[in-house]
Amino acid sequence: MPASPFTCVLDVRASLGECPVWSVKEQALYWVDINAPSLNRFDPASGRNVAMPMPEAIGCFALRRSGGFVVALRGGVWLADADGTLGRKVADAPYDPAHHRFNDGRCDAAGRFFVGSMNENRDANSATLIRVDPDYAATEVLRDIMISNGLAWSPDGRTMYHSDTPAHVVRAYDYDAATGTTSHPRVFAQWTGETDRPDGAAVDSDGNYWSAFYRGGKVVKLSPQNAGGKPPIRELASNALAFLRGLAPVYRQYLNERAAHPGMLPVLMLNGHPVAEKAVGRQSATTFRPVFKIVSWTARGDLKTPPRQTAAPATNGAGAAAAPAERPDTGATRAAPPKQPDANIADDFG
C-alpha cells in the first residue's frame, strides 16, 4: 500500500459500533457498541475514549438538555447520568426481549425521543417505532417493521423519513410537529438489489436524505423530490462510510468540514488501514470487516487549491443545525468555526 498522510486516531475494535452523536458543548463524540454493550465518549483533542458499560444491549441514545442521556436498552428506555450510571426506567420495551431489541432512534425538534426496534430472528414484521414523550408516555407510531432504521426529519420538520432495512425501502410521512404524529405514508425510495439495504440516515439543510447501506458499501444521497422511488441522485461507494449504520451523519460532517476549512482532509480508518478521500466514490483501500474506526482530520501541505464545496451546512435530521466536529490540533493555522447548538437533544424528561 502506498504511503499515506492519514493517521488512525482510535482503533476501537468495536463489535457493533453505531449511533455517533457529536456534543458541541463538550467537543466530544458519543457512540455506542451495541454488543459490548457500552455507551462511549471519545475526546478527539486527547485521543481518549471512555467506555461506559451498560447492563444489556444498547441500541441508541440521545443527549439530555439538562445533562446525561436517555438510552434505549434491550429491556426498555432509561435515563442515565453523564457518567453512564442508569437512573430510572421510563418506558418498557414493547416486545419480547428474548428475540427483539431496540435499534435506531433519535429526537425530533421538540425533544421527543423516537426509537425503533428490530426482530433479531428476521422471521416476521413484528418490530415497531415508538415515541417517548417528556411525561414518559410511550406511543406506537409505526408497526409492521422487521428492522427499524433511517429515522430523520426534513429541515422544516414537516416530513419524517424511516427505513425498514430488509424491505429495501425508505418511506416518507407527513409529520405534525405539534403532536408528534405521522400521516400519509408513501414510498420515498425502493431498491431491489440484495445489498441495497438502507440503514442509518440523516438529512442535510437542503432536505437531501443520506442513507448508508448495510452490506452495500455505499452511501446514497436522495433528493427531497425523490418520491416514488427514483434512482438516487448520487452514490458514494466506500466501505469506510457504510460499514457503520450511523456513519451517514459523520460523512455529512466530513463534507461540511472539508468545504469550510480548505487544506484539511479527512482521516477514514478501516481495519487499521487509511481510506483516502480519493477512495470515496471509486473504491475502498481495504476489504470490509466489522471494525469501527473514529473519523478524524489531518492537514496536507501539498493541497494547492481549496477542495470543491459539495454540501451545505447540515441539520440534525430534525430541522436544527448540526455542528461539524472540531478536529484535533494538526498544526495548521485556521479560525475555529462558531459553535452551534447540540443536535439530537432530548427534553429534560422531568
Q: 3-class SS at 317?
A: coil
**Alpha-carbon distance 199 to 245, whole Å?**
6
Q: What share of the chain is helix, strand, coil (3-state, %, to 5)?
A: 5, 45, 50
- pLDDT, tens digit (0-9, with 9 covering 90-100), for 78-106: 999 999 999 999 999 999 999 999 999 99
pLDDT of res. 260? 58
Our answer to whether residue 199 is catalytic in this structure is yes
- pLDDT, tens digit (0-9, with 9 covering 90-100), for 287-319: 333 333 444 444 433 323 333 333 333 333 333
Domains of the chain plus CATH, in order, are 17-329 (2.120.10.30)
**Alpha-carbon distance 201 to 250, whole Å?**
10
Residues of the chain with pLDDT under 70: 1-9, 226-345, 347-350
**Alpha-carbon distance 318 to 150, whole Å?**
13
Neighbour count for residue 253 (Cβ, 10 Å): 22
pLDDT of res. 212? 85
Count Cα atoms within 13 angstroms, Cβ side, for 322.
Answer: 36
> Which residue in the list 33, 199, 342, 347 is annotated as catalytic?
199
Copy the grid coordinates of residue 44: 478527539
Copy the grid coordinates of residue 66: 439538562
pLDDT of res. 215? 81
pLDDT of res. 326? 33
What's the predicted TM-score (pTM) here? 0.69
